[in-house]
Structures are given as structure tokens and as C-alpha cells.
Structure 1
Amino acid sequence: MKLAKEVAFAAARKAGQLSLERLGDVRKIDYKGVANIVTDVDQACEKIIIQMIREEFPDDEILAEESGKSSGKQSDRRWLIDPLDGTTNYAHGYPFFAVSIALTENDKGVLGVVFNAVAKELFWAELGQGAWLNDKPISVSKTGRLAESLLATGFPPNTPEAQRLSMEQFRSVTAASHGVRRDGSAALDLCFVACGRLDGFWERKLAPWDMGAGALIVEEAGGIVTDLTNGTWDIAQGNIIATNSMIQNELVAALNEKELARTIALAGS
């Protein structure tokens, strides 16, 4: 694991440095959906990360946001790569984005690295070894009530129905808490839960590379990660709640999908 950690650190820093150097100098933007974009910087950063991993671990499987799945002989080890989490922010020069790299073994996260190049903050965790910000250990907050909590979320760029439900959840939690932030990088939001800057985070329809590193960092910092109904979190399903554990049940109740869906239906009738 020592070599994997060294490679992930070096790759995250190198890709992060490139993204910082090119901030405000995006030369090409393509659309993967109506509001889902990719820049030439995403692609350049991903190429750097994959090359560095392949040099040391040629047999590992890789799942990356822009290039997709690259199979390896050792299919029980998989790297999850988001070279630039927060692409829309980045394309507009909004400085909230990160590199996210995770390693799983037999579908269980064993290493997570998230690098915020703007702040020079490297969040990382190794299974069973705690969570860290640069060289200092981190832990989740001790906030005990949703009413005293600061949270974050994101909205899925897909169907109108999913967006309406996300907005209802946003309203519900905002009314019950100190506030909800929507900054556009799930990887950083999860890390902010891990270090106590946020008390909780939730989002729907995320990809494995959005959550893989951050979820492990939260858990190793003493937090809890579940699906939106407080059930077992499944990275393949894309729905996630991450909290300090103390506000978990209150947040799940405020996000009650069935009740909010009924509210939406009644409003439309």
C-alpha cells in the first residue's frame, strides 16, 4: 500500500498543479449532456494520472471519468479517477475543484486521495489508518443537532423529476439547519465533512469516481456513509449521505423521498 499511496499522492499533485496553471485558460469545452461538460484540462489531467498509475501498476483495472473503464489482469484492484471534480466551476474560473483518486480491492475502498490545488490541501485516508489533511489527522465535527448544522449538497444534471426532488430536499434541509451549501464538487464536500467544516452532505446520481475517495476519508475520520434511506451505501447506485453520525437520523428524516415526492405530486395536481 505504501507504493500505491506514493503514486496517488504524486499523481494528484501533478494533475492538480496542471489544473491550477491552466485555470482561466480553458481552450476547449465539450458537452456530455445539457449541463455536463468536459474540458481539455480534464482530459490532460486524466492522462497524467493514468500514465503514472500504469507505470507502477500495469495490471490494475482503472475506471476514469473521461476515458471510461480500462481492464487489467488484476481485476480485484480498481482505481477510480476523477481528474477534475468540479469541471463546471473550473470552466468558469470558480476556484472550487479537486483531483480525486481512489483504490478499491474486491470492491472495498482501501485508499482515498483528494487534492485541492487552490488551497494546497491533500486529504487522504488508508483503510484502518485514519484520515488526514496533509500531515495532520482529521476528524468529523461533534455537532449534535441538525438545527445547528451546516451541510452541502449537489443537484443531478439529468431528468426534471430528479431535479425537482433535489430542490424539495434542499428546501427541507435548509429550513431545518443553519444552511446548505452547493459548491459543485462532491469530492471536496465529502472531505469537508471529514475535517469538520461541514456536518453532513448528500447527493443523488453520483458516479463512483465522484465518491470513492471522499467516502473512505469520511469513514476513516469517524463519520458515517449510507444511502438516502439510511441503508447500506452502494457506490454503484450513486446516492449518498455522509455525516458526523450524530445528525444522521435527523438528516435522513428531512430527506424523506417518499414524503417529498408526494408533496411534489400534490403541487402538480
Structure 2
Amino acid sequence: MKSAATLTNQWQQELSAAVSAAHEAGVAIRADFGERQVTSRKGRYDIQLRADLVAQRTILRHLSQRFPHYGVVSEEGMQDTWEHSRMTWVVDPLDGTNNFGYGIAHCAVAITLFDAETPVLSVVVDPITGREFTAIAGPSRNRPTRVPTAVGHATVALVTDYSEEGRVTGRRIEDVLSQNCKRVTTMWAPALDLALVSAGALDAMVSRNASLLDVCAGIFLVQTAGGCVLGTDGRPLRLEKSLHRGAVSFVAAGTEELALDLLDLAFSAPGW
């Protein structure tokens, strides 16, 4: 049996590399903040910027030099390699691309490492402010004290998919949440939203039909910090690599009570 110290230290080299890669990517793209240098359009509502590609190249170069035998899944053209390696980096090089292009400082670089099915670390770095959020598998330390927040006092982030149906349903969910919560934000940067939930800066996030790549780093942050992430069945979400095979819907909150209340509200919206 591995000791607590061994479990904590096992992934430190990988964590250090991921943190360095994320910050390096942030430096590489910072000068493009507010510049809409579109390289591709992903349907009607989503885009790829030059900054996405620059960040991805920077991260992959850094990680491949340190861990050449690890697999990589990344958002820009590298999403068919989930099953190729036991050790798999999952990279969202620029979470909140539209925000970045319009000069809205709500975006992030997100990196997760999976050992087979299990996440072992995650990093979310804000390339504009330099804020850094990290989590690593092992004994929990320095978890923030969770002050219960009533749903009526909660500030909640909402993220849905980019489909037409998703946007319509998202507006219905937002309407229900707005009638019952203090504030609802729709900033379309789920990794950073979840990082803020993990730190207690946001009370919760409701997500419908997300891609695992977009949310795995943030979910791991919330769970490791002692927060609650519930699937649509009302049970704690088991974060596994195989979730990439379908859309991921969940509620993440600082406490289980708030997560359950928000799940009930989201389910009451027509179309969920």
C-alpha cells in the first residue's frame, strides 16, 4: 500500500510540467488578447483563433519534451486519441476563446492528466491575470471552509452546448435560475468557472451537454477541493476518461445541498 506522502508526491513532476506549460502558453498568447485573428469557424457560434493554435503548440511542445511517452488529447484537431495511451494529457489550450478575442478577461488554459480512467492532476491558469488553480490526487489538504449558501443567495455560472437546441434550452434554464438565484452568469469558459467554484469565488455551475475536454480540469478541481459535483441522476459524478464518449451534464457547487437545489431547478426548465 502506498503511503499518503507517496500518493501526494507521485505526480509532482507532471504537475510542475503542466503548470509551466500553462503559464508559458499564457505568455505566448497574451499579446493577442482582444485580437480576433480567426483561423476557423466551428459552426455558427464558435471560432478558432490564432491564439488557440499558438497555445496548443506551446503546451504540446513543453509536455512532449518532458514526457514523450504520454498521449495527448487537445481541442484543436487532436480529439481522436483518447484511447491510445494509459497516461493521457487532456488539453484545452484556450477556454473561453470568444471572450479572449473580444478582450473579455474571462478565459483560461486548462490541462488534466489521466492515468487510465482516473484523473490525477489538473491545472487551470488565467493567461490575463496569471491566476493559477491546481489539484493533484492524494490526501486532501487545506480545503477551504465551505459556508453554506442558500440558493436564493447564490451566484451561478451556466454553460450549455453550442447547438441551436442547446442555446434554446440554455435560455430556459437561465430563466428558471434567474428567478431563484441572486445572479446567473453565462461567460462560456467552463474550466475557469469551475476553478472559481473550487476556490469559493463562484457558488456553483450548471452544465448541460458539455464536452469532457472542456470541463474535466475544473471538475477535478472542485472535487479535490471538497466541493460537490452531481450528475443528472443526483449522485456524485464519477470523473473518468471514458466520459469523453458522450456529453457531460452536471451541477457543481460548494455544498451538496446547493447542488441538489440547483439540479431540481435546472430539471424544471422545459426541454432539459
**8 Å contact from structure 2 (residues 37, 101) kept in 1:** no
Following superposition, the deviation at residue 260 of structure 1 comes to 2.2
1:187-206 to structure 2, matched below 5 A, reads: 187-206=191-210
- Alpha carbons of structure 1 residues 72 and 249: separation in structure 2 relative to 1, 3 Å: closer
Is 1:50 the counterpart of 2:60 in the alignment? yes
Q: 1:162 to 1:28 in 2, by over 3 A?
A: closer
What CA distance in whole angstroms lies between the structure 2 residues aligned with 1:181 and 1:120?
A: 22
Give the length in aligned residue pairs: 255
Does structure 1 conserve the Cα–Cα contact (< 8 Å) formed by 2:178 and 2:184?
yes
TM-aligned CA deviation for residue 129 of structure 1: 4.5
Measured in 2, the distance between the counterparts of 1:53 and 1:128 equals 22
Point out the more displaced range, 230-239 or 56-65. 230-239
- 1:167 maps to amino acid: R
Report the 3-state secondary structure (helix = DSSP H, G, I; strand = E; otherwise coil) of the residue aligned with 2:93: strand
- Aligned mates of 1:198, 1:58 — CA distance in 2: 37
What's 1:166 paired with?
A: 170
The more displaced of 197-206 and 64-73 is: 64-73
Q: Which runs of 5+ in 1 are unaligned?
A: 132-136, 263-269
| Residues 87, 115 of structure 2: 8 Å contact kept | yes
Q: Deviation at 1:34?
A: 1.0
Q: Distance in 2 between matches of 1:97 and 1:113?
A: 13
Output the CA distance in 2 between the equivalents of 1:210 and 1:141. Answer: 25
CA distance in 2, matches of 1:56, 1:14: 14
Q: C-alpha distance in 1, partners of 2:83/2:27?
A: 31
**Aligned AA (2:51):** V
Q: What's the RMSD between the two structures over aligned residues? A: 2.2
C-alpha displacement at 1:140, in angstroms?
6.5
Please say if residues 60 and 74 of structure 1, whose CA atoms lie closer than 8 Å, have aligned partners that are also in contact: no
Offset of 1:155 from its aligned partner?
3.1
Of the three residues 178, 185, 193, the one matched with 2:182 is 178
Structure 1 window deviating more from structure 2 (64-73 vs 108-117): it is: 64-73
Query: Residue in 1 aligned with 2:3?
Result: none
Deviations 1:56-101 (A, max 9, x none): 2112111100021475997121111000000011111111110000
Superposed counterparts of 1:51-200, under 5 Å: 51-69=61-79, 71=81, 75-130=85-140, 137=142, 139=144, 141-158=146-163, 160-200=164-204
Structure 2 segments unaligned to the other structure (5+ residues): 1-10
Give the Cα–Cα distance (whole angstroms) in 1 for the partners of residues 105 and 157 of structure 2.
17
Tell me how far 1:256 sits from its aligned partner: 1.0
Query: Is the 1:101–1:209 Cα contact (8 Å) retained in structure 2?
Result: no
Q: Given the two structures, how large is their TM-score scaled by the length of structure 1?
A: 0.87
For 1:72 and 1:102, how far apart are their aligned partners in 2? 12
Quote the offset at 1:163 in angstroms.
2.0
Specify the SS of the correspondent of 1:198.
coil
Cα displacement (A) at 1:214: 0.7
Return the TM-score normalized by structure 2: 0.86
